[in-house]
Amino acid sequence: MSCWIDTHCHLDAPEFDADRDAVRAAARARGVEHIVMPAVERAHWSGAIALAQRHGDSYALGIHPLYTPRAQEADIAALRAVLAERQGDPQLVAVGEIGLDFFVPGLDHERQIWFYEQQIQLARTFGLPVILHVRKSSDRLLKTLRATPVVGGIAHAFNGSAQQAQAFIDLGFKLGFGGAITYDRALRLRELAVTLPLESIVLETDAPDIPPHWLYTTAEQRAAGQPQGRNTSAELPRIAQEIALLRGMPLPALQTATTANARAALRGLPACPAD
């Protein structure tokens, strides 16, 4: 029996408002037994908790760097309070999604860094892993992690260098791979998926974001009325098949390894039904 873990899915996103429960059921029908829902701002925390409880999944709580322009310093105190309140909840598996985004123009880097470092301190206080947003920011993220070590976690949607990948691994992190790996032009990313140690890789969709190539449409196609396919956790096994082909390994072996890796990264994830 297949038992996949999607370590990063925003099931609380508005793209799923019309059919959220059906989307989750469809993923489970394809063997995605468990998903991790990282909240991105204070207003989303309660929704992520409720969804995880309803579907038997896991959640993470944090303030995403793209949401720091409208975040308040008081949100850090609120995060501390909710983490304290939910301490011991097995469905709370990380502080996240947190991190730094130095790609999107117009964001205040120092403000991002302040929120990131405050949340790293909280992860350390509560002994939780972190789910990191890494976008043109690996070195700065690593600087803080070396100064303030945490119990590891996941560098989500990793797309850095081999040296940066090894630096995260050395600090106890797994690296998240998803739909971006399916594009032929993603040469560096595909090389990483082949050369990194198998024990360092976890799988994710980032649904509804980062669609695999079979869901993607160009701007011209969208202008002509062809919609982009919606990414969901149900795409995870097909994404995994692409990685298995790249690595030249059987799909069941990749499933076994990445499921074990996810559990190692986010302690508290449940065993598969057949385990």
Residue 189 burial (10 A CB sphere; 0-12, 13-18, 19+): middle
Residues in the chain: 275
- What single letter denotes the amino acid at residue 220? E
Measured torsion, CA atoms of residues 98, 170, 268, 60, in degrees rounded to the nearest 10: 0
Known binder of ligand: residue 206? yes
For 60-63, which contacts have Cβ atoms below 8 Å and span 24 or more sequence positions?
60/36, 60/92, 60/93, 60/94, 60/95, 60/96, 60/97, 60/131, 61/92, 61/95, 61/96, 62/38, 62/94, 62/95, 62/96, 62/97, 62/98, 62/119, 62/130, 62/131, 63/98, 63/115, 63/119
Known binder of ligand: residue 34? no
Known binder of ligand: residue 55? no
Known binder of ligand: residue 10? yes
Known binder of ligand: residue 101? no
> In angstroms, rounded to a whole number, what is the distance separating the alpha carbons of residues 261 and 196?
13
Q: Collapsing DSSP states into helix, strand and coil, what is residue 70?
A: coil
Annotated binding site: 8, 10, 97, 133, 156, 206
Annotated binding site for a divalent metal cation: 8, 10, 97, 133, 156, 206
